[in-house]
Structure formats: structure tokens, C-alpha cells
Structure 1
Amino acid sequence: MQPLPHYYHVQSHASPSNYLRVKSHSLPDLNVASPLEFDGPGGQWSPATLLMSSLSSSYLISFKTLARHAQLDWVEIDCVSNGLLDRVEKITQFVTIKHNITLKLNSKSSAEEALMLLHKAEEICLISNSMKCEIILDCNISIV
């Protein structure tokens, strides 16, 4: 890892009749729109789905890093993240994020060690650590 601090840059552009366009350096552009829940057109990434994607992918990257250092012998991991958006004291915000995690281990791996690493990944996840809402893990570990 490069020394901190790190800086991340995105540029968003909008016009009255088009989707928002989000750009970052040499990455592919993304079209972004309000979700159906906010009377948007749907069919595009929304700020809320991008947030869920950031949480889920950052969590998995944290787990992969820990698993590599612990030499955990795992096959695959899936993380389905669901965010509950509600109004709290007149402010619309995410109140809970739930990660439903399915981890498949090789037969020589310890499910107890894997569970500890799954929880540790949440503790060190930089996106999760930037959130103020409750984050819940629901872990399902199987040996294959």
C-alpha cells in the first residue's frame, strides 16, 4: 500500500435532459440517474446502488487481503449488500446496511478462523468505517 493520505477524484456532469455522467481518470464513464424510488427513470446505476457496490466490493477486498495474509484456503465468496434508507429526525439516510455473505472453504480450512476473518474484514473496511449507520453481517460458511 502506498503511504497515506490517498486522494480519489471523480467528475460528475449533468444537463437538464440527460443522465449524469461520472468520470474518473482512465476508467470507463458511468451513467447515473435517480432510482425509481425517487421517481427516476431506473435502468441506470444510482447513487444508492453505487454506494452499496462500494460497500460490498470494499468489504470483499478487505476480506481477500486478510485471507491472503492468514493463508486461508477459500474457494469463493459472495456478498449481497442491502441498505435500508429511511428518515431519521427529518433527515433521509441509510439506517442499516446488511451484508449477506456466502463463503466456500476448502476442506482443510477452519470455519472458525474464516468467521473471525469475515468479521475482521468489516472492522478494517475503509468504506464501512466512513459510514455512520449500523452494518450487519450475516455469514454463511460451507466446506466444499
Structure 2
Amino acid sequence: MEHKYTYLVNGLSTTVRSGTLAAPEVQTAIAFSAPPEFYGQPGQWTPEHLFVASVASCFISTFSGMADYSKLEFRSLSLEVEGVIEKDEGGWRFTRVVVRPRLKIAHAQDGERANRLLQKAEKACLVARSLACPVALEQAVETLG
């Protein structure tokens, strides 16, 4: 296995405070704008949403890989990720990210293991590990049936 990977994203802007993002190996480009709070267009993906979305997608990918490896059967994983930005002496920055996974499992005896895997996923998610702000985990596991 490699010890280094590189990911390339290309950005293009032809209007004020908005543009598109594309990656050579990805079929769909993403349109974005600055958030309305910073005079961008409402209803668009923003860099702030994409930042928080990267934590969400990384957590889901990390957890599902760990669950597969550990043979944990789960019905669904939904989550909400909240990013908080605040202005300090250096300007605006993310000061906190909260990950709220909701895991549905089939068997009650898997509850403890499911909780451990959620905690491991939060620690192993490379995006969350790369952030300068704290990441909090507020998890819930529900048994179905």
C-alpha cells in the first residue's frame, strides 16, 4: 500500500464570489458560491458547506470500512455534521465541528461494539484528524426489531 496519495481539484471563477470545482477523475463538477453571510448567492454549496461535507463523507467512509472489516452488520448510518465559524484576531475560521452519527443495527448484542466502532471512526477519519479545530462526537445506536 502506498504511503502518499495526491488529490487534485481545479477551480474556475468567471463571476464574483462563485465558481465551479472539478477533479480529473470525477464526472460531475460542483458549483459553489460564498455564503450569503459573505455576500454570496443563497441556495448554493459554499466552501463552508464543502468543508463540513468532507468531514461527513470521510466519517461515513471510515465507519463503513471499519464495520465491514469487523463484520458488524448495520442497517443504516445517518449523520449530521455541524461546523461553527467564529471571527478572532486572525479573521474567520472554523472553531468547532460536531459529528452526530445515528447508527441502526439489527442485533442488540452488537450495541457495545457499534459504539466502539463509531468512536474509532471519529479518531481514524483522516479529514477530522487534519483539522485545526476540535471535533466532538455525539453518537447514538438504535437496535431495530
Normalised TM-score (structure 2) = 0.92
User: In the aligned structure 2, how far is the partner of 1:125 from the partner of 1:101?
Assistant: 13
- Residue 141 of structure 2 is matched in structure 1 by 141
The answer on whether the counterparts of 2:13 and 2:19 sit within 8 Å (CA) in structure 1 is: yes
Q: Does 1:83 align with 2:96?
A: no
Are residues 1:9 and 2:22 paired? no
Measure the CA separation in 2 of the matches of 1:76 and 1:132: 30
- Give the 3-state SS of the residue equivalent to 1:14 in structure 2: strand
AA of the residue aligned to 1:87: K
* Structure 1 residues 142 and 23: CA distance shift in structure 2, 3 A: same
The alignment of Structure 1 onto Structure 2 pairs a total of residues equal to 143
Gaps of 5+ in 1: none
Correspondence list, 1:30-45, <5 A: 30-45=30-45
Give the CA RMSD over aligned residues.
Answer: 1.5
Which ranges in structure 2 are unaligned for 5 or more consecutive residues? Answer: none
Equivalences for 1:1-144 in 2 at 5 Å? 2-17=1-16, 19-27=18-26, 28-107=28-107, 109-144=109-144
| Percentage of identical aligned residues | 23
Any idea what the Cα deviations from partners look like across 1:52-110, whole Å, max 9, x if unmatched? 11100101100011111111111000111000100233331111101111100012542
Following superposition, the deviation at residue 44 of structure 1 comes to 1.1
In 2, Cα distance between equivalents of 1:91 and 1:18: 18
Extract structure 1 runs of 4+ deviating beyond 4 A. none
Distance 1:11 1:111, change over 3 A: same
Paired with 1:120 and 1:81, the residues of 2 have a C-alpha distance of 17
Give yes or no for contact 2:17–2:34 (8 Å, CA) kept in 1.
no
1:48 aligned counterpart, secondary structure: helix
Go from structure 1 to structure 2 and tell me whether the alpha carbon gap of 1:112 and 1:132 turns closer, same or farther (over 3 Å shift).
same
Q: Give the secondary structure class of the aligned counterpart of 2:100.
A: strand
For residue 67 of structure 1, give the secondary structure of its aligned residue in structure 2: helix
Shift of 1:16: 3.4
- Tell me the TM-score normalised to structure 1 length: 0.93
